[in-house]
A = this chain, B = another copy of it.
Amino acid sequence: MTHRQLNLNAFIYPTGHHEASWRHRDSTPERIYDVRYFQELARAAEAAKLDAVFFADGPALRTEVRYRPDYGLEPITTLVAMATVTTHLGLIATASTTYYEPYNLARLFSSLDHISTGRAGWNIVTTASDAAAANFGLTDHPDVQQRYARAREFVDATVKLWDSWEDDAVVADKAAGVYADPDKIHRVDVEGEYVSVRGPFNSARSPQGRPVLVQAGSSNDGRDFAAHYAEAIFTAHQRISDAQTFYTDIKSRAADAGRNPGHVKILPGLSPFLGATEAEARELQQEFNELTIVEYGLGQLQKMGRIDVSGLDLDTRVPPELFAGAGDITDNDNSRRLVFAKIVEREQPTLRRLLHKLAGARGHNVVAGTPVQVADIIEEWFTRGAADGFNIMPPQYPQGLEAFTTTVVPILQERGLFRTEYTGTTLRDHYGLPRPESQYARTLATAGTA
């Protein structure tokens, strides 16, 4: 077995993760509805041998578009277009179990996996958003227990649909006139409280058997769900100590659930400003921070941090009392609030400084440094039990991705921490995950030996 290596995804946000990236003189916000732009990003990520590209998503307008572009294109369709110009790059889309139906979503991801010959991943979210709820006839979003109860049934149903056709169900015997063996195509017969699906699925099993299951929950419900289902976990930590605590907790929960902890990849977000010197990197960060719009930042702080800072002067220190109760992470809704609370407690920033701190990546870890400094941070987190890799969140696309892949990736490769060539063709191959057998094949094998 080869030694342990990093997994690196490019987390796509159209003009970049820094909230003011679209205002930068080099930015091309007019291209965010041009699929060729995303195809260029895909080619660049693949040229650097990254594991995957990743899109967030939610069924509602997610940002104050007065001040900043939202995602424009739907992620699964965009990833199909990116698949057609690449051969190895993994393709991960976010989709909500609360606002989709398993049969429809199972088909989209199965199709993405077929079209990309085995490169699809699904980032499972439960969408704690009243705006999303209102787009589906609800007055507010279901509570966290209900959302995760539905998510469990939803994922079980989806996996059963993906398993519905055994790998050898298609016979295609022209002479005998048998296209498929009906004994190898199974109903799924899910009858849950939230989800009922009879099946069978209407598509052959996809190249990966099952697209890779990704998750990003940090609440207790979220961690429990992740430990049972997720094969990769996206998470937000500012400091290595917090990341280590999270890493240890998830790996042990996975082991408790009877899983191989090595098959749960933990990938924190990392947003790097890069410069030839540290001072140059900080100047670049400052250049972006000066483009921020205060009203937007205050809105984000209120929305994600759930605090009201109206009346507070920009140059006053943020009172930590505003975050009272943030330690209680019973709900994902609250997990980013906790990240913000820790920053305030630790750094005692002015309101302006806090806004700048969050402008880069909404609470994810933003670093400014030389390529060697950034590579050192990555290596430290990787070797000290804080991460299996990273979700790279360039402040600006495509420039920030190019800076990372051309300056940091070669250092990581030189240190033997990152691949120099793909050794497999599927996302499962890149993440070192086994290809699961169909659960129906197992059932029959068991029956056969009884």
Give me the interface of A with B, judged by CB distance under 8 Å. Answer: 22-25, 27, 29-30, 33, 35, 39, 58-62, 65-74, 76-78, 80-81, 83-85, 99-101, 103-104, 107-108, 110-112, 114-115, 131, 134-137, 172, 174, 177-182, 185, 195-204, 291, 293
Contact = CB atoms under 8 A, between A and B. Distances in A.
A326 to B, nearest CB: 28
Nearest to A174: B23
A111 to B, nearest CB: 4
Contacts of A136: 101, 103, 196-197
B185 A65 contact: yes
A65 B195 contact: no
A134 B157 CA distance: 13
Give me the 9 closest cross-chain CB pairs, A-B, nearest first: A137-B196, A134-B198, A74-B111, A65-B180, A80-B80, A77-B111, A61-B202, A103-B135, A74-B107
B114 A35 contact: yes
A131 B201 CA distance: 11
Contacts of A134: 197-198
Contacts of A182: 65-66
26 contacts: A22-B174, A29-B172, A35-B114, A59-B103, A61-B202, A65-B179, A65-B182, A66-B178, A66-B179, A69-B172, A69-B180, A71-B202, A73-B111, A73-B203, A74-B110, A76-B108, A77-B77, A78-B111, A80-B80, A84-B84, A84-B85, A100-B101, A100-B104, A104-B104, A137-B195, A177-B293
A69 B179 contact: yes
A61 B172 CA distance: 17
Contact of A35 (B65, B84, B131): B84
A149 to B, nearest CB: 15
A80, A107, A180: most-surrounded residue (chain B CB, <10 A): A80
Given A58-B202, A66-B179, 11 more contacts: A23-B177, A29-B179, A59-B103, A65-B182, A66-B182, A69-B180, A77-B111, A77-B112, A84-B85, A177-B291, A177-B293
- Copies of this chain: 2
Contacts of A203: 70, 72-74
Contact of A27 (B85, B100, B174): B174
B197 A137 contact: yes
Contacts of A172: 22, 29-30, 69
B108 A77 contact: yes
A99 B103 contact: yes
Contact of A67 (B70, B73, B103, B179): B179
Contacts of A108: 74, 76-77
A81 B83 contact: yes
Contacts of A73: 111, 114-115, 203
Nearest to A84: B84
Contacts of A111: 73-74, 77-78
A396 to B, nearest CB: 13
Contacts of A58: 202
A65 B203 CA distance: 10
A421 to B, nearest CB: 24
Contacts of A84: 35, 39, 81, 84-85
A110 to B, nearest CB: 7
Contact of A115 (B81, B110, B199): B81
Contacts of A81: 80-81, 83-84, 115
Contacts of A65: 179-180, 182, 185
